[in-house]
Amino acid sequence: PSIVHFTDKTVAWENTLCQLNGGIVNFGTERVSTELVTTIDPDCIYREEGRILHFMDSTNDSRLIKQIFREIRCGQLEHAQQLCVHCGQVWRAAVLEGWRLFHDPNYDNNVYHMMGGETKRIGKEREILPVEGNPNRDIWKLCAWKMCEDPHASADERAVMGALCGHLPSLLPLCTTWEDQLWAYTRVSVDVAVEQQIRQVSLKNYQPLEDGYWNNLRSLEKIIKEIARKDDQFKPNRTLQELLILDKCDELFSVCTCWLEEQKEASEPHFLRYLCHLVLVLRTIGRPGAAYHSDQVISAYVKVLMQKGDCDLVAYYCSLLPEEEQVDLYSTFMEEITDKNDRAECLAAAEKYNLNIPLITEKVVQNVRSKKKDSEIEGDLTLVREITEVDKEKISALDWMIYYPHQRAESIWECNTLIRTFIAQGKLPAARLAFDRIPSDSMEMILQQYSENGIVDRDALPPKVGAAIKEFLSYKAYLDAQEGFSRWFHEFHNTRPTLPSKYEGNDFTQKLAHEHRLNRYNEDCNRWKSTMLHETKTIKALLFNVLTFPDGGWLVDEYKDDPARRDNMQRLRGLCIPQVFVLLHKVLHSMELYEEAIDLVTLLMDESTKFYKIFNRTQLNDITIKIAESCDSILTTSLDPLGWEGGDPIDMVEDYDNEEIDDLDRNFQSPTHLNIDATLEEVPGVGDDNVHEEEELITAWAKMAETSFNKSYDIQRLKETSDNIDDDSDNESL
């Protein structure tokens, strides 16, 4: 053993002993030897009043006693006894042993001892074991009590004995801090409680102790109240210590929650870490307290870890929370992660600690999608807006849901929601980017998940999955149509040959050059017309894909579990379908396909699709005016306003049936088109060699009249509908 300022192992008071034996001590001999004690024993100082030890011995003795008290304060009584023996004061080590309770193991008839971790019975042989403790403990305690009240003893000696015999007044002068006072009060109270219990259950007669000794018994609540200090009321550590000592875990959790809401000290990272681990320790020992309060503490620490960006730590502490809070916190953490490798690391950490990844990734996409700038205006398709950084974040968030094959269906669902918003905002490029974010093999992967023996039954798909797939394909048709129209518009207006300026001079060379330019212009026009006819056929097919979308129509399904989605889809139909009609009419009218442009009225007024109910009054007026313009334009040819040429009626009907309008039949296989394009073969008796020529002529004229009547009737209905419909307010944005 070692001690500060003490020498190696020696005898007690070696300098005094040396000087009494006639030796010379080089230091501390200013006083004459007559002032020193005449004998060396433990009581010589008290017995020979007026005499002292050698100065160096007194100093060393004082330091030793102080160190003994420190060891006792630290619970190291055995180490204090070793120090006493080391310094030659074996008697002091024996004094420190006097407080122990007496126990004689030899009273047991059968003697046991431990060997190799197991109890082994010796048998009838008796082995004398050492006795433990002090059989005269009550007498020792009386003597120690008197020593604590002896004014000649130093404060350190009184404190050492007071700690062992339960004398509180001798301890308090040396216990200045809150922790030391708590130890002093508690040690004395425990000593009194043990002594009280022994005297109640034991048959032995003990020496009576002082009344002051029994008055030192206090409860923990009273001790905490007595040692409380005013400056400790706002110290979180002190409050936590008190509540833990008093075993008030519920109140502790409640106080921690209040700190998180009010006090600034609780927002420090290290203190939050301390509170979090305190909560975890209490959970481990079976004292979890109120779940709400403990979860609040852990959540606060998780938010601190989120700022550091450690995926593993965030995932671990999130796993200690209820699932709902796991999803909320971890999804919030994942929102700010954009790097592909970091995202993979976050998902790996979530798998490691068994977090609900499907719910978390879905929550991430929803959280990012909910971000919106105030400057964004929705519901106007006429303005094509640029893609903002917020839009890019929303699109990038879809990547969270494509890491796992079983989430492809849900990723399409979330992608559809985002596309609906972009289309409503007029951000078609952003909608295309969101659409392309879904891998091309997603459809096949989803169908394989619900296939049996390699056979995919469409009816076997869950309603939500089927609705998501159809909506996704609906957006594909719409986006393809919009992009096709943009290409057609560009080709029509930017690649059209320019007519050379008219030359009115008489120069033969210039005239020849002008004729050459005209010939070249005519050749370019022919090529341009050929190209535009091909482009027109393509864009007609794309636009009709939207208007004749199968299974009930574009953005129409039977999924009713999400009323908000259904309402948004209905609004999109009101925004997009009138626009598709306008674009299709523009294509047909610009390419001088006036008959097909007029035929749109039949599709619009068809009762199976009821497109006219989607239009508001303004939109119906606009489409009516455009169709009227096509009727006016057709008058410039030899046709009538409904598209019939002059000449032989039978030939006119046959020519009508053989027109390019059959392209419309290939784009939409709908019975409504037959109302416009009724062929001669469908008229009974026409083309039969056995029918008289006059009857065939009459039938042809009747067919032409019926078709013209149908067109006129549909146009009249369109006008009446436009006049009678209530003027709707502007479509609300999604």
Residue 124's pLDDT is 52
CATH number, position 567: 1.20.190.50
User: Domain with 138 in it: what CATH number?
Assistant: 1.10.3450.20
Where is the domain boundary, 150, 181, 211?
211
Please give the angle made by the CA atoms of 10, 15 and 21, to the nearest 5 degrees: 105
Judge whether 649 lies within some domain: no
Q: Give me the residues of the chain with pLDDT under 70, please.
A: 1-8, 22-34, 108-126, 230-234, 263-267, 372-384, 454, 456, 637-734
Question: How many structural domains are present in the chain?
Answer: 2
Q: How many CA atoms lie within 13 A of 160 on its CB side?
A: 24
Q: At what angle do helices 463-494 and 508-547 cross, to 10 degrees?
A: 170
pLDDT at position 212, please? 87
Q: Does residue 205 form part of some domain?
A: yes
User: Does residue 224 lie in a domain region?
Assistant: no
* Residue 347 burial (C-beta neighbours within 10 Å; 0-12, 13-18, 19+): buried
Domain boundary among 578, 607, 641: 641
Residue 726 lies in a domain: no
Q: In 204-314, at which residue ranges do the beta strands (DSSP E only) sit?
A: none
- Rg over alpha carbons for the chain, rounded to the nearest Å, is 50
Residue 712 domain-assigned? no
Q: Which residues, 6 or more positions from 688, have their beta carbon under 8 angstroms from its beta carbon?
A: 696
- DSSP letter for each residue of 347-361: HHHHHHTT--HHHHH
| pLDDT for the residue numbered 685 | 39
Question: In this structure, is the dihedral angle defined by the CA atoms of residues 67, 73, 79 and 81, taken in order, positive or negative?
Answer: positive
Q: Which pTM was predicted?
A: 0.68
**Domain limits for position 567:** 479-641
Residue 79 is assigned to a structural domain of this protein? yes
Q: What's the rounded Cα separation, in Å, for the pair 451 and 448?
A: 5
Q: Of the candidates 707, 664, 663, which has an alpha carbon nearest to the alpha carbon of residue 682?
A: 707
Three-class HEC string of 422-490: HHHCCCHHHHHHHHHHCCCCHHHHHHHHCCECCECCHHHCCHHHHHHHHHHHHHHHHHHHHHHHHHHHH
**Last residue of one domain, picked from the residues 581, 614, 641:** 641
Among 171, 144, 143, CA closest to 155: 171
Beta bridge partners, 452, equal 455
